[in-house]
């Protein structure tokens, strides 16, 4: 418990430090940022909220598809419930992994399939990130060739490398030969205590070995999810007066999502406000507009996650 509090304090300190850095960097433009937020078009904001909830339901459907491939039958309403709860905890725990733990916990309690629940959550995350990096790579290539911005080649390379890495991890988890080799290694070494856990997870992952159609379908759903999330960013940029091309939104939304996975802050606070001006500054978007967009996106995320907090309280009451 002491280590958990220590880690939380460190991440909270990093969030505060990042916020202080952003305030220092934009100290002469904070009034402009405030005016943008105050004069935002609420109709566009409302549409952004609806699109964000739609993206959450799309992600729940992707996860539900993966679970059905294991022949674990769970109502979609329950999957949506776990997804909203997980997203709520994304905003109060480090990075996005805290939410994954909570939705996996909820599913495991519901199905009593601990290994299957864990495997579905991990694979869901890998497929979702792979879809994100696919969109980032294609968008970067489109920006380079359509606008002649050759200086953005490194972003395309990063997206491709990340995509290859994610696919490699997925193949590693599903491979029977590799899983058995790891199992033998664990049973022979000092990590034998976790060998049983690995064996259970490996057995759950093996169920996906020849499930090519569900995996491909889940990937397509993931592409739909990132498209919807990108549209949230675009709609919120329109609420602030516009000025950010849609192609740039599709390029930077997945890259920023990848950065926010780094578990160094609480709910991405501070890290998001530093990432948006950096990435969008690469294509000439004014820093104050990028900062205002980051604040708007984070506010919408927090607002949209509130139903998850209410559902979590119901969990506690039922238990």
The residue with greater pLDDT, 245 or 141, is: 245
Which pLDDT belongs to residue 2?
56
Share the mean pLDDT of the chain. 83
Q: Which domain holds residue 142?
A: 2-318
pLDDT tens, residue by residue, 16-50:
888 899 889 888 888 999 999 999 999 999 999 99
Q: Measured on CA atoms in the order 294, 296, 297, 298, is the torsion positive or negative?
A: positive
| Residue 266: strand pairing partners | 94
pLDDT tens, residue by residue, 228-285:
999 999 999 999 998 899 989 998 998 898 888 877 777 778 889 999 999 999 888 9
pLDDT tens, residue by residue, 76-96:
998 999 999 988 888 776 555
Which pLDDT belongs to residue 231?
95
Q: Cα–Cα distances in Å, from 78 out to 49, 73, 75, 218? A: 22, 11, 5, 18
What is the pTM assigned to this prediction? 0.87
CA-CA distance, 63 to 125, in Å (whole number)?
9
Collapsing DSSP states into helix, strand and coil, what is residue 94? Answer: strand
Which pLDDT belongs to residue 243?
84
97 pLDDT tier (thresholds 50, 70, 90): low
**Looking at the chain, how many residues does it have?**
319
pLDDT at 176 over 80: no
pLDDT at 5 over 60: no
pLDDT tens, residue by residue, 67-77:
888 888 889 99
How many domains is the chain partitioned into structurally?
1
Which pLDDT belongs to residue 39?
93
Mean pLDDT (whole number) for 143-171: 79
191 pLDDT tier (thresholds 50, 70, 90): low
How far is CA 86 from its chain centroid?
11
Which pLDDT belongs to residue 3?
55
Tokens of 258: 């990848």
């Amino acid at each position: 418990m002491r280590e958990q509090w220590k880690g939380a304090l460190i991440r909270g300190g990093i969030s505060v430090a990042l916020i202080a850095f952003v305030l220092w960097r934009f100290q002469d433009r904070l009034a402009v940022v405030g005016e943008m937020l105050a004069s935002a078009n609420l109709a566009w904001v409302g549409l952004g909220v609806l699109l964000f909830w739609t993206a959450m339901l799309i992600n729940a459907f992707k996860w539900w598809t993966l679970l059905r491939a294991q022949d674990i039958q769970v109502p979609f309403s329950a999957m949506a419930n776990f997804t909203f709860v997980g997203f709520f905890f994304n905003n109060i725990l480090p990075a996005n992994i805290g939410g994954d733990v909570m939705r996996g916990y909820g599913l495991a309690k519901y199905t009593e399939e601990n290994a299957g629940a864990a495997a579905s959550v991990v694979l869901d995350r890998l497929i979702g990130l792979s879809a994100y990096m696919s969109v980032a790579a294609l968008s970067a290539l489109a920006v380079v060739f359509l606008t002649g911005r050759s200086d953005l080649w490194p972003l395309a390379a990063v997206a491709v490398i990340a995509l290859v890495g994610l696919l490699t991890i997925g193949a590693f988890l599903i491979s029977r030969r590799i899983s058995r080799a790891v199992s033998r290694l664990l049973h022979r070494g000092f990590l034998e205590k976790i060998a049983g856990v690995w064996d259970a997870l490996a057995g759950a992952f093996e169920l996906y070995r020849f499930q090519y159609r569900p995996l491909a379908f889940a990937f397509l759903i993931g592409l739909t999810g990132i498209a919807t999330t990108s549209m949230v960013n675009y709609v919120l940029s329109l609420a602030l007066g516009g000025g950010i091309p849609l192609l740039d939104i599709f390029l930077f939304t997945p890259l920023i999502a990848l950065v926010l996975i780094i578990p160094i802050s609480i709910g991405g606070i501070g890290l998001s406000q530093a990432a948006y001006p950096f990435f969008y500054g690469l294509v000439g978007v004014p820093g104050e507009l990028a900062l205002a967009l980051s604040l708007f996106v984070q506010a919408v995320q927090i607002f949209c996650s509130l139903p998850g907090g209410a559902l979590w309280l119901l969990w506690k009451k039922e238990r």
